[in-house]
Amino acid sequence: MASRLYEWLDSRLRLKPIGKTLLDEPIPGGASWNYVFGSATLFLFVLQAVTGMFLTMYYVPSTDHAYDTVQYIQHEVMFGWFVRGLHHWGASAIMLAIGLHMLQVFFDGAYKPPRELMWMVGIVLFLLMLGFGFTGYLLPWDQNAYWATQVGINMAGRVPIVGDLMVKVLRGGETLGALTLSRFFALHVLFLPSMIIFGIMLHLFILRRVGPAGPWDEKKAKEGSETFYPRQVYMDAVVMLGVFLIVATLAATIEFPLADKADPSDHSFVPVPEWYFLFYYQLLKYVHGPLEPFATWILPGLFFLMLFLLPFLDRNPQRRISRRPVTLGVGMVFLVIVFGLLGISLRDLYAVPKTDPSVIRGKELVVKFACKTCHRIHGEGAAIAPDLSFVADRRPDREWHLRHFRDPQSVSPGSFMPKLPLSDRQLNDLTSYVLTLKSGV
């Protein structure tokens, strides 16, 4: 049936020569598992495009509704949590895939002549992808989105002369608000996709014009080429399946939680960037004073410029890594620094909080004593008494809470908080729990 349809179409559209050009592309040295990273990246891009299109079906880019619509997708639309999970984990996966793709090309020396243009277009694609990450992060309009974007935009403001202008243009005004959200949305779903699709086409066009690099070992390369189809297609497909299963499993098992709705007046919130920006976030913690502009924009600027011009900076004609000591050394030092900083940052972020059993008991006491009859905690409960969502930011002092629970009016005169009949242990547990109610947890 399918083949008859193909014959019918071919007799009119002459498809066979196109199929032959697309599928019989020669791969020097034969198909290899080393060449799957580009296809994996392309697959993830398609996955992001598809899930992104479906997310826009319910998402509204206005500060009034954005947060509610993401909540709606997450909790009310059938499989909404899964589609959002795929998009979230897919974004991380694509960064990882690009990283591996670049490392493979770098260590294989595949950026060397005549493939300089393919590498340079690839760097532009990488920058566009970082743009997707930055603009997409704001869209849920929760505390993390708001404050992380605030920091990101302010970093652009450190650039001399044009910094202020750039900040104003990015925000669409003096403050981060409705205009910022709608322009980030437009960039994320219309401008960047049209640019990146053009870039991807160019990247693939160049690939087809110059051909794949093949193995650096010339003897191996001379043994002959193999057609792209079917063995390389098969290898790419197997890797795509693996990538899909990993992303789908993460999406199905680990929910990416929303923080509270963005609150521009809450300056106590400490945002944490996505893991692929973490090494840079950590670097900025070490650099102060006159060196700060160096780290915020001179270093990244130089890094991307050097990366872009790499095929012209590295004039060593050898592709074999053991004959390229300088490139190898620079590459390894870079990786050690990036992963070192990432490791330190992850340790700082995730090693500390282990839920204390006392905290769990304290949380149960909140239910037992019906604290939410008056207090609101992360959107649950009445708003009669103070909102406790981030009470530990305002009151980090343990002693204060202990005294307050024993006799509320002794530290907070005029409060209508009742004196709870708490045992010493319950007093301690409740205080431990209340102290966990802070931002950035």
Partner 1 sequence: MTDPSNSHDMESEGGIFTPVGSRRTFFTWVSGAIAVFIGVALAVPLLGYVISPSFKRRKKFWKAVGRVEELPVGEPRSLDYVVTEKDGWMETKAVKAVWAIKQEDGAVTVFSPICTHLGCGFRWNPEDSQFQCPCHGSIYDTTGKVLGGPAPRPLDQLPSKVEEGQLLVLYKEFKSGLTEQVEL
Residues lying near partner 1 in the complex (CB under 8 A) are found at 24, 26, 29-32, 47, 50, 54, 57-58, 60, 65, 68-69, 71-72, 76-80, 82-83, 223-227, 229-231, 233-234, 237-238, 240-241, 244, 248
Min separation Cβ 103 and partner 1, Å:
19
Return the closest-CA partner of residue 417 out of 362, 380, 379, 369.
369
Q: Which is nearer to partner 1, 81 or 308 (CB)?
A: 81
Phi, psi at 313, each rounded to 5°: -75, -40
Min separation Cβ 133 and partner 1, Å:
22
Please give the Cα distance from 70 to 141 (Å, whole number).
9
Q: Which is nearer to partner 1, 90 or 133 (CB)?
A: 90
Q: Which is nearer to partner 1, 241 or 384 (CB)?
A: 241
Please give the Cα distance from 190 to 69 (Å, whole number).
20
Q: Which is nearer to partner 1, 72 or 297 (CB)?
A: 72
Q: Which is nearer to partner 1, 53 or 305 (CB)?
A: 53
Query: First vs last Cα of the chain: how many Å apart?
Result: 58
A 10 A CB-CB count for 234 gives 11
Q: Which two tokens stand for residue 23?
A: 């599928």
Q: Which is nearer to partner 1, 32 or 412 (CB)?
A: 32
Q: Which two tokens stand for residue 199?
A: 């870039």
Q: Which is nearer to partner 1, 33 or 286 (CB)?
A: 33
Bond into 114 cis (ω within 30): yes
Q: Which is nearer to partner 1, 242 or 300 (CB)?
A: 242
Min separation Cβ 23 and partner 1, Å:
10
* Burial state string for 209-225 with b = 16 or more CB within 10 A and e = fewer than 16: eeebbbbbeeeeeeeeb
Min separation Cβ 225 and partner 1, Å:
5
> Which value, in Å, is the radius of gyration of the alpha carbons in the chain?
27
Q: Which is nearer to partner 1, 23 or 302 (CB)?
A: 23
Q: Measure CA 49 to chain center.
A: 15
Min separation Cβ 224 and partner 1, Å:
5
Min separation Cβ 42 and partner 1, Å:
13
Min separation Cβ 227 and partner 1, Å:
4
Q: Which two tokens stand for residue 162?
A: 């044009």
Min separation Cβ 239 and partner 1, Å:
10
Q: Which two tokens stand for residue 404?
A: 């307050």
Please give the Cα distance from 73 to 59 (Å, whole number).
8
Min separation Cβ 244 and partner 1, Å:
5
